[in-house]
Amino acid sequence: MRLLCGEEAFEVEVRPEGPGLRATVGGQAFNLQVDALGPGVFVCRMGDRSETFHCLRDGDVVHLFWRGRAYRL
């Protein structure tokens, strides 16, 4: 898929791998696990790191709130 964030475009591929996902963004691969904590609230785990984020979909637009910033994808 192609995600647009402001003026930047990112080619993203996500596929299941093991117990989690493998996400490739601009040629760089990440192994991660994403779990829902509640409506619109998720935790992303990459190795021993974990971060909570909020995400809402409105039609074709995804609103992502992460690390104190809001993104429209």
Residue 26 has pLDDT above 90, yes or no: no
**What does the alpha-carbon distance between residue 13 and residue 18 come to, in Å, rounded to a whole number?**
16
- Chain segment 28-63, per-residue pLDDT in tens: 999 999 999 999 999 999 999 999 999 999 999 999
Residue 5's pLDDT is what? 86
Other Cβ atoms within 10 Å of 58 Cβ, number: 8
Q: For the chain, first and last CA: distance in Å?
A: 12
pLDDT at 12: 93
Assigned token pair, 29: 């691969």
The pLDDT value recorded for residue 57 is 94
> Is pLDDT of 68 > 90?
yes
